């Protein structure tokens, strides 16, 4: 890559502790320019698996502590995984300190942190999304639901961040009224439910299209699909995501061009016009309806576990190619258009299967020893990303609800899935559960 930057990629800081952050550290470490990656706070995988990485005992929400660390350690690029520090303004704080950081500012992150802002924004910019109304008054919301005529049902959403749980899909007005009570009167999602969005229920298969952004240009990542329900055939409660795969069979270039033209580019242009240029990854959660792709939500970051299925497809060693670290730095420096032709994706597919602790997404135990990690990792084209893990007395143990994300690469989706499940079969911890239908192409467009 000939383009140059005055910033150094020798030392990188990754913020977060899940499977997404392990995958990020793994992918960033592949660049020969990168000498060391700090992960704050990281997990057992980022502590031990990669020789270039070490964990830093600073939590992801200690923004002042992270700024101090990055400055003291002369970190040349910081990459933020989760949404909470973005919502809290970590990018603004790093920018004020003159430290390069990949992610949107607090104002730009409103596309995720306020569904009300996002819907309003899409409406203003003609970005396709379900018709909606926003309410902060319970009685007004209830009257609206009672008089609504949407034939397909309604979806009630808490406007604020609710850890992926603030969306209730309703079949009829009675269910929608119940959802309003949960959010506005019982305050199940706290202040996130101060404002609710009531929108028309759409139908069709779902698709996640994520794009790198530098404030003006968007570069799409291969499309992905995740599986949100905890049990096979989309049964049981929603989770953070039980598995994902990329690319998605049947999604062609024409559709992705349409998503770029009707959703992602107008979003980036609109944010720039609003005075909050968007840098980082913009994640569009879409439903492919008869009226074309419609936005269900924006996220202001990479998805988890989508990242564990997308990043292994980046071909960082392609001829005239570019590494993830260089791409992210180019985004921070507004040079994405210049490097975009150097971004290469492997042919083939990647799938990731999440192994969860017993009880997840409800309460779950921690501290169960995990066996077979090395055995799984040595399988060809299998990558074991840690999510909720820790080291206790030299042994890797469970420390979260989603414990591991096991990814498989292959020439096609069936091969990738076979490899991911071969990896899963080598790993054991008490009560482990995982979906056995990741990547099956029917039945998850509910
Ligand atoms: P969100 O967090 O907004 O993506 O919503 C979570 C899930 O709720 C989505 O992945 C969809 O399955 C569903 N959902 C959200 N909005 C709608 C809608 N307007 N119509 C149908 N399903 C929806
Ligand atoms: N897997 C969904 C998300 O990261 O938001």
Encoded tokens for 157: 């959403």
Residues 363 and 378 in one domain: yes
Nearest CA to ligand 1 atom 15: 296
What is the side-by-side strand order in the sheet with 349-356?
A: 225-226, 243-246, 349-356, 402-410, 382-386
Distance (angstroms) between ligand 1 centre and the Cα of 176 equals: 14
Least-confidence region, from 81-95, 120-134, 173-187, 405-419: 173-187
In a domain, 243, yes or no: yes
Between CA 197 and CA 132 the distance in angstroms is 7
Of 278, 312, 342, the residue at which a domain comes to its end is 342
The per-residue pLDDT for 149 is 73
Ligand with an atom nearest the CA of residue 210: 2
User: Cα separations (Å) of 311 from 25, 96, 99, 182, 290?
Assistant: 10, 30, 25, 38, 30
Residues 291 and 320 in one domain: yes
**pLDDT of residue 2 exceeding 60:** no
Distance (angstroms) between ligand 2 centre and the Cα of 369 equals: 27
Torsion from C-alpha of 428, 82, 214, 306, nearest 10 degrees: 30
The per-residue pLDDT for 445 is 39
Residue 112, ligand 2, Cβ within 6 A: no
Residue 206, ligand 1, Cβ within 6 A: yes
Residues 300 and 317 in one domain: yes
The CATH number for 160's domain is 3.30.1490
Residue 297, ligand 1, Cβ within 6 A: yes
- % of the chain with per-residue pLDDT over 90: 80
Ligand with an atom nearest the CA of residue 167: 1
Between CA 271 and CA 290 the distance in angstroms is 28
Ligand 1 site-directed mutation target among 287, 304, 361, 445, most atoms within 8 Å of CB: 287
The per-residue pLDDT for 320 is 86
Strand partners, 156: 168, 198
164 CA closest ligand 2 atom index: 5
Least-confidence region, from 17-26, 177-186, 202-211: 177-186
How many structural domains comprise the chain?
A: 4
Between CA 63 and CA 192 the distance in angstroms is 22
In a domain, 107, yes or no: no
The CATH number for 391's domain is 3.90.600.10
- Cis omega (within 30 of 0) for bond into 41: yes
The per-residue pLDDT for 444 is 40
In a domain, 75, yes or no: yes
In a domain, 132, yes or no: no
Ligand 2 site-directed mutation target among 304, 308, 310, most atoms within 8 Å of CB: 304
Residues 174 and 232 in one domain: no
pTM summary value:
0.95
Residues 250 and 186 in one domain: no
Angle at 206 between CA 203 and CA 207, to 5 degrees: 150
Instruction: Determine if residue 79 is left, alpha or beta; phi over 0 gives left, psi from -120 to 50 gives alpha, anything else beta.
Output: beta
Of 296, 321, 342, the residue at which a domain comes to its end is 342
Residues 374 and 432 in one domain: yes
Residues 212 and 336 in one domain: yes
Residues 97 and 180 in one domain: no
Nearest CA to ligand 2 atom 3: 303
In a domain, 40, yes or no: yes
**pLDDT of residue 359 exceeding 70:** yes
Residues 141 and 90 in one domain: no
Residues 230 and 317 in one domain: yes
- Mean confidence (pLDDT) of the chain: 93
Of 194, 227, 262, the residue at which a domain comes to its end is 194
Interval 260-285: pLDDT, tens? 999 999 999 999 999 999 999 999 99
Q: Please give the residue range of the domain that contains residue 161.
A: 137-194
Residue 226, ligand 2, Cβ within 6 A: yes
Q: 443: pLDDT confidence band, cut at 50, 70 and 90?
A: very low
In a domain, 58, yes or no: yes
Ligand with an atom nearest the CA of residue 226: 2
| Residue recorded with tokens 């597919």 | 349
Mean pLDDT (whole number) for 410-435: 98
Ligand 1 site-directed mutation target among 167, 239, 294, most atoms within 8 Å of CB: 167
In a domain, 188, yes or no: yes
In a domain, 125, yes or no: no
Distance (angstroms) between ligand 1 centre and the Cα of 215 equals: 27
Torsion from C-alpha of 415, 420, 425, 427, nearest 10 degrees: 160
The per-residue pLDDT for 385 is 98
Distance (angstroms) between ligand 2 centre and the Cα of 116 equals: 19
Encoded tokens for 180: 């309003």
The per-residue pLDDT for 409 is 98
Residues 327 and 356 in one domain: no
Angle at 52 between CA 48 and CA 56, to 5 degrees: 65
Mean pLDDT (whole number) for 332-345: 97
129 CA closest ligand 1 atom index: 19
Residues 336 and 423 in one domain: no
The CATH number for 323's domain is 3.30.470.20
The per-residue pLDDT for 370 is 98
């Amino acid at each position: 890559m000939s383009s140059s930057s005055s910033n150094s990629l020798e030392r990188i800081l990754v913020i977060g502790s899940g499977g997404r952050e392990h995958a990020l550290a793994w992918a960033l470490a592949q660049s020969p320019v990168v000498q060391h990656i700090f992960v704050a706070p990281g997990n057992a995988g980022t502590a031990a698996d990669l020789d270039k990485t070490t964990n830093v005992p600073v939590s992801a929400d200690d923004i002042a502590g992270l700024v101090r660390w990055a400055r003291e350690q002369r970190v040349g690029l910081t990459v933020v995984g989760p949404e909470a520090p973005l919502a809290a303004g970590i990018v603004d704080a790093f920018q004020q300190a003159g430290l390069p950081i990949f992610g949107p500012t607090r104002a730009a992150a409103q596309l995720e942190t306020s569904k009300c802002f996002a819907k309003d924004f899409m409406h203003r910019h003609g970005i396709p999304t379900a018709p909606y109304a926003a309410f902060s008054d319970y009685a007004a919301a209830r009257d609206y639901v009672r008089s609504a005529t949407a034939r397909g049902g309604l979806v009630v959403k808490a406007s604020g961040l609710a850890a992926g749980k603030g969306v209730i899909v309703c079949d009829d007005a009675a269910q929608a009224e119940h959802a309003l009570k949960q959010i506005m009167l019982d305050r199940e999602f706290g202040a996130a439910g101060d404002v609710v969005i009531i929108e028309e229920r759409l139908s069709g298969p779902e698709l996640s299209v994520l794009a790198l952004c530098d404030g003006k240009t968007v570069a799409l990542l291969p499309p992905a699909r995740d599986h949100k329900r905890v049990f096979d055939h989309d049964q049981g409660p929603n989770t953070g995501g039980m598995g994902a795969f990329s690319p998605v069979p049947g999604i062609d270039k024409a559709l992705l061009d349409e998503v770029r033209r009707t959703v992602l580019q107008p979003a980036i242009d609109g944010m720039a016009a609003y005075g909050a240029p968007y840098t980082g990854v913009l994640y569009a959660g879409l439903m492919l309806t008869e009226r074309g792709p419609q936005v269900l939500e924006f996220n202001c970051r990479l998805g988890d576990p989508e990242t564990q299925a997308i990043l292994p497809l980046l071909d960082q060693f392609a001829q005239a190619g570019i590494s993830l670290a260089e791409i992210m730095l180019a985004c921070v420096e507004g040079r994405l258009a210049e490097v975009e032709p150097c971004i290469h994706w492997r042919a083939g597919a990647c799938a990731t299967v999440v192994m969860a602790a017993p009880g997840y997404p409800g309460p779950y135990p921690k501290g169960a020893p995990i066996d077979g990690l090395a055995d799984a990792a040595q399988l060809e084209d299998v990558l074991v990303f840690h999510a909720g893990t820790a080291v206790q007395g030299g042994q890797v143990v469970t420390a979260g609800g989603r414990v591991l994300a096991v990814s498989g690469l292959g020439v096609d989706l069936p091969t990738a899935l076979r490899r991911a499940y071969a990896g899963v079969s080598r790993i054991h911890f008490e009560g482990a559960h995982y979906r056995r239908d990741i990547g099956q192409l029917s039945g998850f467009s509910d």
